[in-house]
Amino acid sequence: MKYCLLGGAGVFALHTAKLLLEKKETELVVSIGRNQVKNQAFTIGVGKNDKRYIYKPCHIVYEQDFLFEYFEEFKPDYIINFAALAYATSWDKSFRYYDTNVTAVSKIVEFLLNKNYLKKFVQVGTSELYGPVSEPADEKYPLNPTSPYAVSKLAADMHLESMYNVKKFPMNIIRPSNGYGSGQLLYRIIPKAALMILKGQKFPLEGGGKVKKSFMHCRDIAEAIYAVLKDGKMGEIYNAGVDKPVSMRNLVEIVCKILNKDFEESVNITEGRVGEDKQYWLNSKKLFNDTGWQPKIGLEEGIEETVNWVKKNIESFENENLSFNLRA
């Protein structure tokens, strides 16, 4: 089987590529990302010395001619779209989120219509389109996106649903929990906290860390995606999450525990993020019932894996950006 991963340099795609390369039936994994990878720490060694792995830098908005040429050259059986502008504070230059998350997706899908080589297109969605919830949201839960980012992801999902219903475009949508793991960009909470605390700097904990989200290791997300690829019913949407959400404060407390650091001495409480949803929580029974998937990696185990990756590569992170940088 041949796979193409869009957004191929991101942490979800890295762990998915690693999983796919462990499968004997995998002939080829082509990862397509918008940048050349400059810091090898962020590849986590995926595809090293494996001729079945190819990485191609290509911008899915501005270089679609190259992207479509890659589709025709490699003829993947499965395409997984991780590519997205994905940050909740999306009110600044929100049009860029729509360019990437909606318009680019619609053009890709239209190009792929009636391509005989394509068995399935999997869109990686988000739990954020359910908005803040007080109970685990299943796939029929009322949709309540509260940011341009979440609205753009919902629009893409709805477009894909319509293309399946009318044109029979072979697709699934998976809406995973918040992911983390080795290889994650350093503006995300777990690697950022680990790096700052290791360097003796205080981590800015927004709003005291009261917000709760469902955090799942990217290996479990990769397993969920693979389950949808192989056993998901065509055209269906699947949530993939853990049983309970966790507060941002608790995440940082676990990082401190792993590093044997005092929590109170390691953080500064800062203002909360404007408009941030208070809790994300998913019901994943449908995915379990259809495929048998369940998350396997416990929170402390997964955070320790991520912290150890930061420790191992700390010298190479000297010039890395710890803040989100909006780019097209």
Q: Are 109 and 159 in contact (CB under 8 A)?
A: yes
For the entire predicted model, the pTM comes to 0.96
2-179+216-240, CATH topology level? Rossmann fold (3.40.50)
Q: Can you give the pLDDT at residue 275? A: 75
For the chain, 328 residues long, the average pLDDT of each consecutive 10-residue run is 97 98 97 92 96 97 97 98 88 94 98 97 96 96 95 98 98 97 96 97 95 96 98 98 96 98 96 85 98 98 98 94 80
| 255 CB-near residues (< 8 Å, 6+ apart) | 190, 193, 194, 197, 303, 307
Integer Rg of the chain from CA: 19
Q: Provide the pLDDT for residue 156.
A: 98
Three-state DSSP class for 287? helix
Q: What is the distance, to the nearest Å, from the Cα of residue 60 to the centroid of all Cα atoms in its chain?
A: 16
Domain residues of the chain, as ranges? Answer: 2-179+216-240
Which SS3 state, helix, strand or coil, does residue 105 take?
Answer: helix
H-type helices in 168-210, by residue range? 189-198
What is the predicted pLDDT for the residue at 325?
Answer: 78
CA distance 137 to 141: 5
